[in-house]
Structure 1
Amino acid sequence: MDPSMHHQNCPPYDSPAAHRWWILYDQHLAAQGIAAKARPWYQRRVRQLLQRHPGLSAKALQREDINAFLIALGGMNLADWQRLQALDALQRFAAYARMPWDTSVDWADWRQRWNTAADSHEAAVLEQGQLPDDPSLRRYVLRLRLRHRSIRTEQSYMQWIQRCLHFHRLSTADALEPRHIGPFLDYVVGQRGAAASTQRQALCALVDFMREGLGLGEVDVGDYRQASKVRQVPTVLSRDEVRAVLAAIREPAPALLISLLYGAGLRLTEGLRLRIKDIDIPHGMLLVQCGKGGVSRRTPLPQSCRTMIEAQMQQVQDQHRQDLAQGFGSASLSPGLSAKFSTVASQFAWQYLFPSTRLAVDPRDSMVKRHHLHASHIQRVVREAARAAGLSKRTTCHTLRHSFATHLLESGTDIRTVQELLGHRDVATTMIYTHVLNRPGLSVRSPIDQLFA
């Protein structure tokens, strides 16, 4: 049977047909000489790609979808051999299942970019960026940028390394050893009261530095006190409260962005990173590129925001023309995108929907560009709007995303649809909103109410 027909009849979720297809594919990988311990990873990378596009068959994917997934992989904390293995996994799958995009993806170019020896042009560009004076930190920052980690990740990881150095009173980064990590993590939790996610971030930063910056193969952190993870029910606003918050915002661009956080269920960083090319007004869709965990998704564009979006796009275009006339006009891109698509940064389609009001020097290549609005500004606008609306609840940008999900469930939207709109990998993450609804208890009457009935 045609292997592509196997995949057509076997979507990437549990079913007898899917199970049989993956068994056949595993046998094919074994026949191709892929080691037994590597074959589960070959299948896992393919599944990760398919999970990024729920509702689409593998054949419906485009070259841009594959490139976006590979860019996301480049930004993950993976070793060079792991990225090359993932690339090989996708290429073998595409050939075996006869995917239409197999011949349109430039596999050789991606393989060259991900080899340990960095692309000379990209490395030369990065050398012109702002780098630390400490040799070990300088080498590590270059590795982060060659792996296409975001600026936020770079800044966060560097802060944790500096804090650990200060804690142990070390003057140079190469003096850090694996034995230093455990006591520092104890301090982060015991003295600073950090949450489990914060401690985990510190651990990832320090272990990654040991491996990528100092070249250690194994990093034995030793024993340390792990922070307890507390799962809290999210704060949710009522529809009237959301309406009051939105009405209290006066700045047009923040008002539109905050409307999309609620109207499309976006995370703040996802909204800030929207580019003109991601707005599909004719089809009423937003394309969220490389969201949390590298997951891309499509979400409906609120019709009530259409006029504001068109006005915002016109403002961006006017600003872009002025920038071009002054010899600028480039939007910030990751070094990986800049190296692969060198001319797109100055195209209107690649400009941010919510650009910064000022030009700035990109620390990665020292070029003057226009980035997006800063997250702290939008966070402040939301806090001030909630205060002006007289809300007593702690209201953040993410509260609007929580409210989006809860209000959809209240309206009868099935939880799988909400999961896809939010970009959750696991439906269990989405299930927390059923606790907010508290549906099992809606028919329960408090005993104190019966006393005064």
Structure 2
Amino acid sequence: MIKGLSEIMTLKETAKYLKTTREGKIPAVKIESGKDNKVIIRVPYDQELIRKIKTVSGRKWNPQGKYWEVPYSDGLIAKLQNLFGENLFIDPYFYLIPLQRELSIRKYSRKTIKSYVRYNRDFLLFAGKKSEEIKNEDIKKYLYYMVEKKRVATSTLNIIINALKFYYGEVLGKEFIYEVKRPKKDKKLPVVLSKEEVHKILNAPSNIKHKVILMVVYSAGLRVGEVVKLKPEDIDSERGLIHIKGSKGRKDRYTILSQTALKILREYYKEYKPSKWLFEGARKGGHISTRTVQAIFKQACRKAGIKKDVTVHSLRHSFATHLLESGIDLRYIQEILGHKSSKTTEIYTHVSKASIASIKSPIDTIFKERKP
């Protein structure tokens, strides 16, 4: 636990205090967690408070963000508490620096770190307590609130439980968290596009970059987070493979490279000449964002006249289903998709046209035998 944190007011007291500051009675000094082990300190225009912040060693003014930055150290919180007293407000996000560090050390993905911190921050705001004051009952109330009021899906609820268990169990060493029972998983089937619908979607974009991104996703069964992180050297045209690196569960794998996708990839490469990333983003040196790819897919669906409730991930579902329908063994599909368990891949047997559409309804037999 960060030193000095136990002396700071509870979150409920902080909320009450912030209301006072908004009414202009007390100017608030806000502390937030920044990048690269930095602490962000937002100081209002008050000569006395500015004079105090200038006494903090290592502080640096950020003109773009209009805040002060200070390198984090174990004694920093207590020092700032003594310096600013009742003017100090700490964002609950700051309580979770030990959680961020532990997740980073264990090589969790940026996406997982972001979601674990977000849900723990949300929980602290809900409970109105400091981390060391949390009891099992607080967690149960929060989970009940997320189910009954927020109507979160079972998958989201499991992520929340994982986030709380990791912080309170792994980081803070509390055992009570393990008493929380997990909900039963929703047995929802994926939405699958027909081959005709996929053809319409892939032909919809007029921009060759947009077209090739969607083609690569479908033709190789990629996750959206995988396609955006592809590099030119990941495309092995000689062997007809795509090398997926550091995917879900930090696993590498190979998937198929279609000749149709390769042909348009070469056209795209000649026009755009990508360097670091196969699909570069608007920001120099960065790759295209998953949000942008989702927008490209949504626009393509609208242009193609697709009415189904689908996302980019539906192309991956459709890829797997179409492979199964064409007679490809489920074990090979599992390998291509990078599924850890065969049970995950087996879901496609429930949506495969080959296994369902071949069954004739009894009504067809009835009316065939009894023609009017």
TM-score (norm 2): 0.68
Identity of matched residues, %: 32
Alignment equivalent of 2:279, drawn from 354, 363, 379: 354
Question: Which amino acid counterpart does residue 241 of structure 2 have in structure 1?
Answer: M
* Residue 451 in structure 1 maps to residue 361 in structure 2: no
Matches within 5 A, 1:404-423: 404-423=319-338
Alignment correspondent of 2:155: 197
Alignment correspondent of 2:77: none
SS at match of 1:287: strand
Relative distance call for 1:180 and 1:251 in structure 2 (3 A) is farther
Q: 1:285–1:300: 8 Å Cα contact kept in structure 2?
A: yes
Higher helix share: 1
Alignment correspondent of 2:120: 161
Alignment correspondent of 2:175: 218
Q: In structure 2, how many angstroms separate the alpha carbons of the residues matched to 1:392 and 1:301? A: 29
Question: Which amino acid counterpart does residue 220 of structure 1 have in structure 2?
Answer: I
Alignment correspondent of 1:13: none
Alignment correspondent of 2:293: 378
Deviation at 1:133, TM superposition (A): 6.1
Question: Which amino acid counterpart does residue 212 of structure 2 have in structure 1?
Answer: L
Q: 1:266–1:401: 8 Å Cα contact kept in structure 2?
A: yes
- Higher mean alpha-carbon deviation, 275-284 vs 296-305, is at 275-284
Deviation at 1:295, TM superposition (A): 2.8
Q: In structure 2, how many angstroms separate the alpha carbons of the residues matched to 1:256 and 1:308? A: 6
Question: Which amino acid counterpart does residue 143 of structure 1 have in structure 2?
Answer: E
Question: Which amino acid counterpart does residue 337 of structure 2 have in structure 1?
Answer: L
Relative distance call for 1:211 and 1:445 in structure 2 (3 A) is closer
Q: 1:126–1:142: 8 Å Cα contact kept in structure 2?
A: no
Gaps in structure 2 of 5+ consecutive residues: 1-34, 41-71, 73-89
* Residue 149 in structure 1 maps to residue 108 in structure 2: yes
* Residue 233 in structure 1 maps to residue 189 in structure 2: yes
Q: In structure 2, how many angstroms separate the alpha carbons of the residues matched to 1:223 and 1:141? A: 23
Count of aligned pairs: 285
Alignment correspondent of 1:138: 97
Relative distance call for 1:279 and 1:292 in structure 2 (3 A) is same
CA deviations on 1:226-276 (whole Å, 9 max, x unpaired) are 443222222211111101011112333232121111100111111112122
Deviation at 1:443, TM superposition (A): 4.4
Relative distance call for 1:133 and 1:287 in structure 2 (3 A) is same
* Residue 301 in structure 1 maps to residue 262 in structure 2: no
* Residue 392 in structure 1 maps to residue 351 in structure 2: no
Relative distance call for 1:179 and 1:240 in structure 2 (3 A) is same
Q: 1:261–1:267: 8 Å Cα contact kept in structure 2?
A: yes
Matches within 5 A, 1:30-429: 126-127=36-37, 136-170=95-129, 172-213=130-171, 215-216=172-173, 218-223=175-180, 226-313=182-269, 317=273, 351-359=276-284, 370-429=285-344
Higher strand share: 2
Deviation at 1:189, TM superposition (A): 1.5
Deviation at 1:388, TM superposition (A): 1.7
CA deviations on 1:173-200 (whole Å, 9 max, x unpaired) are 4544454222211211122222221111
Gaps in structure 1 of 5+ consecutive residues: 1-124, 319-347, 360-369
Greater relative contact order, per chain length (Cα 8 Å cut-off, separation 6+): 1
SS at match of 2:107: coil
Q: In structure 1, how many angstroms separate the alpha carbons of the residues matched to 2:198 and 2:279? A: 21
Q: In structure 2, how many angstroms separate the alpha carbons of the residues matched to 1:441 and 1:209? A: 45
Q: In structure 1, how many angstroms separate the alpha carbons of the residues matched to 2:149 and 2:178? A: 19
TM-score (norm 1): 0.57
